[in-house]
A and B are shown apart, each in its own frame.
Chain A
Amino acid sequence: MVNPSTISKDELSILLEQIHDPEIPVLTIQDLGMVRDVSWVNDHWKIVITPTYTACPAVDAILEDIGTLLNQQNIPHQLEVTLSPAWTTDWMTQQARQKLKAYGIAPPVEQSDHVCGIQLFQKEVTVHCPQCNSDQTSLLSSFGSTACKALYKCNHCLETFDYFKCH
Chain B
Amino acid sequence: MPATKNTTPLIKWLFYMADSNLILSQRNSEWCGHGPVLEQDIALTNMALDQLGQARAYYQYIAHLLNQDVQSPEQYTNEDELAFLRDNRAFHNLLLCELPNGDWAQTIAKLFFFSHYQYQLLNMLTQHEDDTIRAIAIKSLKEVTYHVRWSSEWVIRLGDGTEESKTRMNNAIHYLLPYLSELFNPADYELSLKAYDIESLKEKYIAAIEDVLEKAELPIPVSFHINLIQQKGGKQGLHTEHIGFILAEMQYMQRTYPNMEW
Contacts and interface: CB of A to CB of B under 8 A. Distances in A.
Interface residues of B, number: 36
Contact of B119 (A118, A119, A121, A140): A118
Contacts of B132: 83
A84 B40 CA distance: 31
A118 to B, nearest CB: 5
Contact of A147 (B50, B140, B148, B153): B50
Contacts of A118: 119, 145, 148-149, 152, 208
A13 interface: no
B50 A54 contact: yes
Given A86-B139, A141-B40, A143-B46, A115 B53 contact: no
Contact of A84 (B135, B145, B212, B215): B135
B146 A115 contact: yes
B139 A84 contact: yes
B39 interface: yes
Contacts, number: 89
Interface string B126-147: 0000011011101111110110
B51 to A, nearest CB: 8
Contacts of B208: 118
Nearest to B61: A83
A144 interface: yes
Interface string A102-124: 00000000001001111111100
13 contacts: A51-B53, A55-B54, A84-B131, A84-B139, A86-B138, A115-B145, A116-B141, A117-B145, A118-B148, A118-B208, A120-B212, A141-B40, A142-B149
Interface of A: 51, 53-56, 82-87, 112, 115-122, 140-145, 147, 151, 167
Given A83-B57, A84-B131, A118-B148, 8 more contacts: A53-B53, A54-B139, A55-B49, A83-B136, A86-B139, A116-B142, A141-B43, A147-B50
